[in-house]
Amino acid sequence: MLSPLSTMETHDGTTRYLIVNADDFGQTDSINRGIIQAIENGVVTSASLMVRFQAAEAAAAYAREHPRVSVGLHVDLGEWTCRDGHWSLLYSVVAENDAAAVADEVSRQLAAFRQHVGRDPTHLDSHQHVHRCEPIRSILIDTGRLLGVPVRHFGPIRYRGDFYGQTHNGEPYPEGVALEHLSRVLSTLPVGITELGCHPGLSDDIDAMYKAERLQELNVLCDPLVRGFLQLEGIELRSFHDVA
């Protein structure tokens, strides 16, 4: 494990560090298998666990058996889906504008994470990035401060979400998860620490708008050329364990 964040950032003033974090760990068995494959055979170093789904326990079991893999809490308050160009609410856990209900749900999911994994999360984020808006934003930032862990989008760790296989309208965008595109993303990383979001997975049990793209991501993240490109660029892989 490296030194704390402040020391790592100023190690030589020129190093680029990369955390590759897979979202949706625990959502389905096939997503679990894809993320584990991307960890063991690719460049994924961290994952964010969704505790509300049946496959969460299997994902947590892997986390318990592999403590060097940093695992955060992927707060799940609902999901929107796009069909034929129209966005609709697929499910809702609590009203996102009800601060008290959101705070209670975040506490419940944090307690479930601790029960499943046996330790605190190494970082916090949310499904479909809903914590970028209030009141979820303040609640998650306060929770991260209490835990002493990073919260995506808020803090010194930069976030890159442009390795993604769909447009903002939910239309397929295979170029966004191509090897060439990932190489361009990596080549533009600044000095310091960057989190690259990704969504690898197999697709045999997924009923969601983001399905085939998961397998495309997995193939690219496991391509040996990616690790070679990181070495060529002098980019060092890290996990959230290294920025505690």
Residues recognised as catalytic: 23
Whole-angstrom distance, CA of residue 133 vs CA of residue 127: 13
Q: For residue 193, give the H/E element and its range.
A: strand 192-198
Q: Rounded to whole angstroms, how far apart are CA atoms 214 and 103?
A: 31
For residues 143 and 111, give the distance between their C-alpha atoms in angstroms, rounded to a whole number. 12
The DSSP bridge partners found for residue 78 are 92
Q: What angle do CA 16, 21, 26 make, to 5 degrees?
A: 170
Q: Tokens 């983001």 identify what position?
A: 210
State how far Cα 220 lies from the chain centre: 16
Q: Do β-strands 86-92 and 78-83 pair in parallel, antiparallel, or remain unpaired?
A: antiparallel
22: burial class by Cβ within 10 Å (0-12, 13-18, 19+)?
buried
